[in-house]
Amino acid sequence: MSIQRARTLGEEVAKQYNPEGNVPFPFEKILDDKSNLRVIHVPNLPENISGATGYSEQLDKFTIIINSAKPEKRQYFTLAHELGHYFLHAEQIRSAPGKIYIDSDGYLDTNGMLLREDEGPTSDMEREANNFAGALLMPET
């Protein structure tokens, strides 16, 4: 996937779920539409983790976890970023059930999560999710 494709998809999702251009973005519209997606806010994640996206084979459901100890604006962007992983990288996340990717660099654990470290290395998947988030929250139009 290219950065431009990630931006284009972010704009398409913005147009579908927020055609009025409301601020803040109405994330609940996406969540109401996607029965295989849920978002939970967790206050006790490690300080360097802003969010994570995981998949449960048993539930056939993606879960986005947001670090609720972070500032509200950071949580807002993190949710858009994690939605980028959902829309852009669902197959990669789904193909490794029971695994964890730290910034998609291949460090594995057992929770089925794709984590975003605040100061971690930036991979192609992370850059794509960031560009999706930017286009979702601030479409070019």
Please give the angle made by the CA atoms of 46, 87 and 50, to the nearest 5 degrees.
15
pTM listed for this prediction = 0.85
Mean pLDDT check: name the lowest of 2-11, 26-35, 79-88, 119-128.
Answer: 119-128
27-81 confidence digits (pLDDT tens): 999 999 999 999 999 998 888 888 888 888 888 999 999 999 999 999 999 999 9
**What region does 134 belong to: left with phi over 0, alpha with psi -120 to 50, or beta?**
alpha
CB atoms within 10 A of CB 15: 13
- What sign does the dihedral 37-78-12-6 (CA atoms) show? negative
